[in-house]
Amino acid sequence: MSGVRIEIEREIKRPQGAVSQPSKAVNHWTSKSVYFSLLESNHSAATKANSAELLVEKLKETDIHAASMPANIQELDHWLTEHNEIVGRQYREYLAARKAGQPRWYFGSKSHALFFLKAVAPTKLVDGAWLFGLMRHWQDPRLASLIKIYLEELGDGVEPMNHVVLYRKLLKLNGCEDWKTLDDQFFTQGAIQLALSAHTDSHLPEVIGFNLGYEQLPLHLLITAYELKELNIDPYYFTLHTTIDNAQSGHARSAIDAVEEAMPMFNNSREFMQRVIAGVKLNDVGLSTLDIIRHFDLQGEVVRVLQSKANIGQFMHSDRCVIGGKTVNEWLQDNEQVAMFLYEMEKTGWIKRHQDPEQSPFWKVIAGEKAAMFGVFTPYEQQVIYDWIAGDALESMPMLARLGRPWRMVERQSKAQEDAKNSRYGNVYDFHSGNRIGKKLPETDFNQDQLSFERYVHSIDNEETLMNFLVDWMSPAKHHTPLGLCATRYFKSHMDSLF
């Protein structure tokens, strides 16, 4: 077994306590509450205070972590090159191991991979958020690299290139949209990113450092993209980040430029670098990618899926169907009984595990367009149930049944829908004039919001007022909406006209 595999496994087996150290003090907020309150349009005094506390707490928590980057700015280039060489070498070892017949390192099944997509959603859906606090400083050339990165995270306002839009589509396509029900621990990274955006005025070096750490290409991104593709899940969001964050000209490079550009703003460069390093270490907060992968428990997830249906399901079944001495409605009345209900279904032949799920009457009732319970379970939930029933026989199941349609087919379909949508929003702008190149939107009820938005933008003759108005629409909560995208295009157009 290769050295890198051992290293990865060691990290996977890390005890839970070593992953995130819960705070000793009792807070009146949680990561999840801070996360959602920071996504509201106006931040209350309580939101500001709680998110500031979260930042202080997490900076303290990571203070004892070893620094992965040099304190000397002259050494950053070498650090970047070396990091990329190591990741490149480790990825080659991974590919060689897979070629030699090793199973996937990350995802045991498609449902495992879909769980991962859902579990990292709170972080991915605020991609780039930590840079938002800089946007009101668009005139400052010392922040140009960071502003450019934020605009690129937003796809420069072009919908199919906006990273949050892309991730939302990925979740939708795979029926993984119920991420808001995840436990608090899955929201810590996202809460930190949003908190940095809300407190940039007092945490600029930490924001720059967080960006530097986040934009470096990690090994797990490459492996994730490889294994998602193998499981018929569109890996585009992940492959995009291997290219856009590249070390030569991408975000990884710009993140280093940003440190160099901003340094003259601070009187004490040593202190500045220490705070940048503290920001880099904030990337360690919360669950890591490998922690999240390890978190998946197929048996537990099947039980959770059935429990989530029990509230409604307990009234929907006919009393003629008795399993293990109880009607289905009786089984579903108590969440604690669901695991036992599954066991009884196995015992009575409703579920035949470790063979083709098509042999199980239970599967036939929930899957297929003519099934009695068609539509009750989301695609993600069906995948969980399929993988669990197939069990040890999963890898020998027919590809289409096990992994669904190849993602390219799905992608083509969604691309067609996307094209239709783009023409509606007139996504193509001349960045220099700010004018739409495509035809003007017709004056219909459907376009009222965008038409009045555009009229308002063109009526503002004060540059600062205009840019502040646009920045409001480019917040992490709004930039992926049609008006947010429109604002981003105007903003980008104005920035291009300045240089």
Residues that bind Fe ion (CB under 5 A): 127, 153, 163, 245, 251
Q: Which is nearer to Fe ion, 4 or 129 (CB)?
A: 129
Least distance to Fe ion from the beta carbon of 304, Å?
30
CA angle 334, 336, 337 (to 5 degrees): 70
Least distance to Fe ion from the beta carbon of 166, Å?
9
**To the nearest 10°, the Cα dihedral for 420, 422, 423, 424?**
90
Least distance to Fe ion from the beta carbon of 214, Å?
7
Report d(CA 196, CA 210) in Å as an integer. Answer: 9
C-alpha distances (whole Å) from 311 to each of 51, 55, 234, 237 are 35, 38, 33, 35
DSSP string, 408-454: HHHHHHHHHHHHHHHHHHT--B-TTT--BSSPPPPSSGGGHHHHHHH
Please, what is the end-to-end C-alpha distance for the chain in angstroms? 53
Least distance to Fe ion from the beta carbon of 153, Å?
5
Q: Which is nearer to Fe ion, 258 or 384 (CB)?
A: 258
Q: Which is nearer to Fe ion, 167 or 377 (CB)?
A: 167
User: Strands 322-323, 326-327: parallel, antiparallel or unpaired by DSSP?
Assistant: antiparallel
Least distance to Fe ion from the beta carbon of 179, Å?
17
Least distance to Fe ion from the beta carbon of 353, Å?
40
Least distance to Fe ion from the beta carbon of 241, Å?
6
Q: Which is nearer to Fe ion, 165 or 290 (CB)?
A: 165
Exposed e or buried b for every residue in 475-499, given b needs 16+ CB within 10 A? bbbbbbbbbbbbbbbbbbbbbeeee
Q: Which is nearer to Fe ion, 163 or 402 (CB)?
A: 163
CA angle 333, 336, 341 (to 5 degrees): 75
Q: Which is nearer to Fe ion, 252 or 302 (CB)?
A: 252
280 close to 210: Cβ distance less than 8 angstroms: yes
